[in-house]
Amino acid sequence: MLKPVPLNAAANVDVQSGADAFPSLGDVVRVHPPLSARSAVIFTSPHAGQVYPPDLVDASSVGVEVLRRSEDAYVTELIATAPLFGIALVEALVARAYVDVNRDAAELDPQMFEDAPAPFPALASARVNAGLGAIARVAGDGVEIYKKKLTWADAQRRIEAVHTPYHVALRECIALAKTHHAQIVLVDWHSMPSGWRGRGPSAPLADVVLGDRFGISCHPGVTRLIEQAFAARGFAVTRNMPYAGGYTTHHYGRPEMGVHAIQIEINRNLYMDEGTLSRSRAFATAKAVVGEVIEKIAAADWAARIG
C-alpha cells in the first residue's frame, strides 16, 4: 500500500487543526496525492479507518472486535493504486464507529445524549432512526455501543476533530481538480456484507452495487462506464439497491456544476474473511482486478463522455 501523505503536502489546508483540538486522535485524514498527471477523478475511502480512540473504547459496552464490524475493512488497500493513475485519494483514518464522515454532521440522535439541547439542533433521518447517524448508536451487528449516554460536548468535539477536517480536505481536492478539469468524477468506495442479491431472491449475488442516487448525483455516462468496467472483469453489478449513495454522493454530486459523485460497494466475500475480519487468500487477486477497473476509470475522457 502507498504510504499516506498528509494533505498539506499536496494542498494548502491545515488538516491537523481537528487533531490538535483532540490530541489523542493524531492524524484524522490523509490525502494520497496523484503521482502522475492529475486525473478528473477523486477517490474517497470514508469507512476503512482503524483508529479507535481511547474515549470510544472506554465508553463502549463491546470490544473493538465488535466495533470493527462497522468498518469497510481494507477498502483503502484495494484502491491504493489510484494515485499511480493521477487520482487523488482521500482517506479517513478514524474508525467509523467514532464519527461517520459519510453522514451529515447534523444527523444525530437526541436520545444518545444526557444533556441534549432543546430544541434539538440536528437532522432527523432514517439512518439516525436505525442508530447509524454521524455518531452511531449501534455497531455493525446492530449491537448497542455505549454503556451510558454521551454528553452533547462529546458529540461536538468528535465532529470538529474528525468530520470537519475530512470534508475540508475533500472540498480542497475538488476545488483543485476543478482548476484542471471542467467535469470531475468523485468515487466514494465502500464494502458490503456478502449475500446481498440485487433484485429479489432469484437474482444472482451482487459483487458490486453502484449508487448514483437513482441518477441524480452523476451523469448517466459515469455510472454506465464504471458498470461496464466492472462487468468486463467478471463482476456481477447492480445499481442503487440497497445502496443508492450516502452523504458524500448526495452532498457533493452536482452534475449541473460539473461534479459527478457515485458510490461503489464491493462484496466483502471477494477479498476478506468476514468472520475473522482478515484478508482472504483472494485479496491479492481482487486488488489486481480492482486495479484494472481503476485504470479504466482514470483513463476515461470524462469531458467528452459527460459533455
The grid coordinates listed for 248 are 458524500
- Read off the DSSP letter of residue 279: E
pLDDT tens-digit readout, 199-221 = 555 555 799 999 999 999 999 99
Q: What's the rounded mean pLDDT across residues 175-194?
A: 96
pLDDT tens-digit readout, 247-265 = 999 999 999 999 999 999 9
pLDDT tens-digit readout, 273-283 = 999 999 999 99
The yes-or-no verdict on residue 18 having pLDDT over 60 is no
Across 161-198, b (16+ Cβ under 10 Å) vs e yields bbbbbbbbbbebbbebbeeeeebbbbbbbbbbeeebeb
For each of the domains in the chain, give its residue range(s) and CATH number, in order of start: 7-100+150-306 (3.40.630.40)
The identity of residue 23, as a single letter, is P
Instruction: Tell me the H-state helices in the chain.
Output: 16-21, 54-59, 64-67, 75-78, 126-129, 152-158, 164-178, 220-231, 247-252, 283-299, 302-306
Nearest to 161 by CA among 15, 33, 300, 54: 15
The yes-or-no verdict on residue 240 having pLDDT over 80 is yes
Q: 22 pLDDT band (50/70/90 cuts)?
A: very low
d(CA 234, CA 285): 13
Q: Are 51 and 79 in contact (CB under 8 A)?
A: no
pTM (two decimals): 0.90
The yes-or-no verdict on residue 124 having pLDDT over 60 is yes
One-character DSSP codes across 42-94: EEEE-S---B--HHHHHHBSS-HHHHGGGS-TTHHHHTTTGGGGT-EEEEE-B
